[in-house]
Structure 1
Amino acid sequence: MATQPNAADTKVALVTGANKGIGREIARGLGRLGYVVLAGARDEARGRTSAAELAAEEADIRYLPLDVTVDETVRAAAKYVEEEFGRLDVLVNNAGISVEGQRPPHEITAEEVRRTMETNVIGVVAVIHAMLPLLRRSAAARVVNLSTGLGSLGLLSDPDAPPMGAQLLGYGSSKAALNAITIMYAKDLADDGIKVNSVSPGYCATDFTGNRGYRTAQQGAAVAVELATVGDEGPTGAFLNDDGPMPW
């Protein structure tokens, strides 16, 4: 078992889906800022390899088994954080899937949407619910949810908005739901001093996009790291990208 951080100013962060892409870069960014980073991943081999590579950069980054769709692993992760640290300062809900490819909405099945929602929405609720007692013990907890412009009803319904490519029925609707969850948690947890925000990393070249994006994973991670470490003056209940607020 790893040693608990003794310094009062040592902060602990959990990043879901942290074994590759934007999640890996968020873990790296928080590690460089001195956070103890728990890199959650459902694939043990990839998770351990990624955490070891990041830890080799002289950061305290540790693999944490976590599949957000499996309640047992969510509870086990919360138990580990409880026993090892006694609190959680940052939760970044990055884990997400899209199973529809570039097919139009009329070709997507209910089962495909259900699978996407299970990870992108229900999984986020499961993790927040399990970690909330630990977040409440932090002096200034932060929750960051990884969203997208494809989940913006404002952009989707605006005929003058820049084209965003395929209308991904399951993925886009799951992120719209995630944005709604962000608003509700932000209001509910305001008295606890917990800030909850959604961020859009933009179209990044990762495995998730088939490496078709025009931004790097590191660029996409920057706004999430910023919101994860924002001070008391920072926003809550917001949806932001690098340029500032985005339409809901």
Structure 2
Amino acid sequence: MTTDHRTVLITGATSGLGSAVAERLAAPGTTLLLHGRDPDRLHVLCHELKERGATAHPYVADLAELEEVRDLGRRVVAEWPRVDVLINNAGVGPGSAGAARELSRDGHELRFAVNYLAPYVLTRLLLPALERSVAARVVNVGSAAQADIDLGDLTMDRGYDGWLAYGRAKLALASFSVDLAEELAGTGITVTCLHPADLMPTRLVLETGLRPLSTIEEGTQAVLRLVSAPAAETGTGTYHHGLTPAEPHSDISHPTKRRLLRDATERILAGRPA
């Protein structure tokens, strides 16, 4: 995809990787739709990018509440004829060691809600706008820290651990990426998922107490590759570790396991027991 005349939506754009990607994509011919939870930080970012000649529009939403996710999707579809790139970057990290389980406003385990349910809902709402693009890209920022999902305990009432919760949500996001790519085959929309870099110095990583191993610039380069490289190079339904194609968790290659997760997700979103 060329860099001319694109409309790009980035979630979690006010800090870390999202902010760095927004700054790199801020160029003539690109309209940035920037999502954040904090309106002040979001408006500061948009102002800074506009001062540099970019076109940027703020979208405030708390992705821990599904109705706000739905409202974000509806607003974007109503206000823009098409979306060329969707970067599902917003996320909640594992938290500090020993941190207690947290629930979203809707009663879902927080990491599952923000890191998986939110991009699942948002992407599906944006499909009409993505389909109006010549060759749209959906880039899901995942993680190599993928973990087996217990479909009988999606709220993690039993044996909660922050890294396990985070890993389950990231496995679910990678699984969704494969399912959506298969669903959209032939439409021109590509769907990819990536682990951008190992332990970048983002707030998500720093709050775990772990020492960063990579730079945000390395992660930014990996995301930008999936945004702008030829589709023949990036593929669709593919998973990438940094700049390199990689194999995700083995569960993602099992259609039955993906279907069971997809069915549980749809029951959750319909307000029925998973």
TM-score scaled by length of structure 1: 0.82
Q: 2 CA distance for matches of 1:58 and 1:151?
A: 39
Q: 2 CA distance for matches of 1:66 and 1:205?
A: 24
SS class of match (2:191): strand
* 1:149 and 2:144 are equivalent in the alignment: yes
Cα pair 1:197 1:227 within 8 Å, conserved: yes
Q: 2 CA distance for matches of 1:76 and 1:147?
A: 23
Sort the Cα spacing of 1:116 and 1:167 in 2 relative to 1 into closer, same or farther, 3 A.
Answer: closer
Which residue of structure 2 aligns with residue 64 of structure 1?
A: 59
- 1:26-51 Cα deviation digits (max 9, x unpaired): 11122237421111011111111122
Which residue of structure 2 aligns with residue 201 of structure 1?
A: 196
2:19 aligned to which of 9, 13, 24: 24
Sort the Cα spacing of 1:171 and 1:48 in 2 relative to 1 into closer, same or farther, 3 A.
Answer: same
Which residue of structure 2 aligns with residue 162 of structure 1?
A: none
* 1:122 and 2:117 are equivalent in the alignment: yes
Cα pair 2:239 2:247 within 8 Å, conserved: yes
Sort the Cα spacing of 1:59 and 1:152 in 2 relative to 1 into closer, same or farther, 3 A.
Answer: farther
Q: 2 CA distance for matches of 1:95 and 1:242?
A: 18
SS class of match (2:122): helix
Cα pair 1:16 1:39 within 8 Å, conserved: yes
TM-score scaled by length of structure 2: 0.74
Sort the Cα spacing of 1:143 and 1:89 in 2 relative to 1 into closer, same or farther, 3 A.
Answer: same
Structure 1 residues without counterparts, runs of 5 or longer: 1-8, 154-165
Aligned length: 225
Which residue of structure 2 aligns with residue 219 of structure 1?
A: 218
Which residue of structure 2 aligns with residue 81 of structure 1?
A: 76
Q: 1 CA distance for matches of 2:147 and 2:28?
A: 31
SS class of match (1:78): helix
Cα pair 2:74 2:125 within 8 Å, conserved: no
Structure 1 vs Structure 2 CA RMSD: 2.4
- 1:70-121 Cα deviation digits (max 9, x unpaired): 3443344334433433111000000100253234xxx864859811101011
Cα pair 2:94 2:162 within 8 Å, conserved: no
Which residue of structure 1 aligns with residue 91 of structure 2?
A: 96
Cα drift, residue 12 of structure 1:
0.1
Which residue of structure 2 aligns with residue 158 of structure 1?
A: none
